[in-house]
A and B are shown apart, each in its own frame.
Chain A
Amino acid sequence: MDNPLHPFELHPLVPLSLFGLDISINKAVLVMWIVVALVLILFIRARSSGSLIPTKLQSLAEMLVDFIRGIIEDTMGKDGMRYFPLISALFLFILFCNLVGLIPGSYTVTSQLVVTGVFAVSVYALSVIIGFSVHGAKFLGVLVPPGTPGWLIPLMIPIELISQLARPISLAVRLFANMTAGHVILGVLFGLTIAGGVLIGWLPFAFTVALYALELGIAFIQAYIFTVLTCVYMGDAIHPH
């Protein structure tokens, strides 16, 4: 049976380097470009037909935009609309990476911890920057929840610090682990299908079909969760406690 982690392996397709930094193009990079192209095609087409009565493509794009707008307004309020382009680009990039990754033979970019890590750390860093730029040194107050008795402060600060640091880590690991696990299970079940032959193979195959549907849902839900948490962190920075 194939190694179920085999689909996550990368091989440089076009070796490239920039100032000694390896920037070789591999399958994940190609899929990233495809994702960017798909999102842009969808949104540019939707924009060019920007009539009052929407076309199908326009409806889809508008549904996504409205969905993201809803998330932002629910978590950050009206002020959050300043970050609308960033949040929507993040949501669309992750969503399309997750979905394109489900196409057999393609690559799930979000199953790379380094990719989700860059997003998570950047988003968290941005929320901290927003917090300090809006509230100055007062933003350090997030480390002390309101109503904490004075003698508990030395205990609370390390705990809150850890909880703050856990944010980007959990954000990165959640997406990476979900995407990886889903594909590993699909891979294992496919392996069983092949190994089982016609006689018994139909059973794992039936599971693959069901799981595939579940994975489609997870692709959407994980993109949603990542976006919502991003908004929550940024919202916390704008309106702490």
Chain B
Amino acid sequence: MPQFDTHFFSSLIFWEVLSFGILLWILYKFALPPILEGLETRERKIRESIEQAEQNRTSAEQRLQEYEKKLQGAAQEAEGILNEARQKAQRLFEENEQRIRSETERIKEETTQDIDRERRRALQEVRGQTADLALLIAEKVLSRSLADEDHTRLAKEALDAVSAQQPKVGGKE
């Protein structure tokens, strides 16, 4: 086998040791430490990032729960406020209705009283005028000497005039 040709052993061993030595030295001095360090840094960063993310998630969940609780509270509060407003409106409405009803009642009462008073006054007036007319008729009958037919006729006329006047007064009521 060509591999057992001792002629090349010395050069192979020499160059192998030298090449390997150079490789080892450069790797040891310049290449490996930064790569190892980089790997470790990355591992640490990833671990930290995962931990951080976990923390963020936990706190976000907590905050979400808080907000949900707050939201629920706010909804309840709004419901309460709405209910109160509704009740207040109802109460105001009822109060207004009551007031309007009593006011109406009062106005009606007053109006009735006014009408009654006016009617009584009008009746009084009519009575006064009737008396005046009776006196007038009596005067006319006495002051003139008239035939019986005339008396009767005149008296009839006077009574007609009175009765014609009376319904006019009563119609005003």
Query: Is B142 in the interface zone, CB < 8 Å from A?
Result: no
CB-CB < 8 A to B28: which residues of A? Answer: 85, 89
Query: Is A111 in the interface zone, CB < 8 Å from B?
Result: yes
Query: Is B50 in the interface zone, CB < 8 Å from A?
Result: no
B13 touches A114 (CB 8 A): yes
Q: Given the interface contacts A22-B11, A47-B31, A176-B3, does A115 sit within 8 Å of B16 by beta carbon?
A: yes
Q: Which residue of B lies closest to A35 (CB)?
A: B19
One digit per residue, 1 when the CB lies within 8 angstroms of any chain B CB and 0 when it does not, for chain A 109-121 equals 1011111001100
CB-CB < 8 A to B27: which residues of A? Answer: 39-40, 43, 85, 88-89, 92
A86 touches B24 (CB 8 A): yes
Q: Closest Cβ of chain B: how far from A3's Cβ, in Å?
A: 9
Q: Closest Cβ of chain B: how far from A121's Cβ, in Å?
A: 11
CB-CB < 8 A to A40: which residues of B? Answer: 23, 26-27, 31
A36 touches B2 (CB 8 A): no
Q: Closest Cβ of chain A: how far from B102's Cβ, in Å?
A: 86
B24 touches A52 (CB 8 A): no
CB-CB < 8 A to B35: which residues of A? Answer: 43, 46-47, 50, 58, 61-62, 65
CB-CB < 8 A to B19: which residues of A? Answer: 29, 32-33, 35-36, 93
Number of B interface residues at 8 Å Cβ cutoff, please give it.
Answer: 35
CB-CB < 8 A to A62: which residues of B? Answer: 35, 38-39
One digit per residue, 1 when the CB lies within 8 angstroms of any chain B CB and 0 when it does not, for chain A 61-95 equals 11001100100000000000000111011101100
CB-CB < 8 A to B24: which residues of A? Answer: 85-86, 89
Give the dominant DSSP class at A's interface: helix
B3 touches A84 (CB 8 A): no
Q: Which residue of A lies closest to B32 (CB)?
A: A85
Give the dominant DSSP class at B's interface: helix
CB-CB < 8 A to A10: which residues of B? Answer: 2, 5, 8
Please report the C-alpha to C-alpha distance between residue A10 and residue B1 in the assembled complex, in whole angstroms.
Answer: 11
Please report the C-alpha to C-alpha distance between residue A35 and residue B19 in the assembled complex, in whole angstroms.
Answer: 9
CB-CB < 8 A to A16: which residues of B? Answer: 11
Contact of B23 among A39, A61, A84, A113 (CB under 8 A): A39
A32 touches B2 (CB 8 A): no
Number of A interface residues at 8 Å Cβ cutoff, please give it.
Answer: 53
CB-CB < 8 A to A39: which residues of B? Answer: 23, 27
CB-CB < 8 A to A23: which residues of B? Answer: 10-11, 14-15
Instruction: Report which residue of B8, B31, B39 has the largest number of chain A beta carbons within 10 angstroms of its beta carbon.
Output: B31
Q: Which residue of A lies closest to B7 (CB)?
A: A22
B3 touches A29 (CB 8 A): no
Q: Closest Cβ of chain B: how far from A51's Cβ, in Å?
A: 8
Query: Is B67 in the interface zone, CB < 8 Å from A?
Result: no
Query: Is A103 in the interface zone, CB < 8 Å from B?
Result: no
CB-CB < 8 A to A118: which residues of B? Answer: 13, 16-17
Query: Is B20 in the interface zone, CB < 8 Å from A?
Result: yes
Instruction: Report which residue of B12, B17, B24, B39 has the largest number of chain A beta carbons within 10 angstroms of its beta carbon.
Output: B12
Those 4 A-B pairs whose CB atoms lie nearest each other, nearest first:
A43-B31, A85-B28, A89-B24, A9-B2
Chain A interface (Cβ < 8 Å from any Cβ of B): 5-6, 8-10, 12, 16, 18, 21-26, 28-29, 32-33, 35-36, 39-40, 43-44, 46-47, 50, 52, 54, 58, 61-62, 65-66, 69, 84-86, 88-90, 92-93, 109, 111-115, 118-119, 176, 180
A-B CB contact pairs (8 Å), 14 listed:
A29-B15, A36-B20, A39-B27, A43-B31, A44-B31, A65-B39, A86-B24, A88-B27, A88-B32, A89-B24, A93-B23, A112-B8, A114-B3, A114-B8
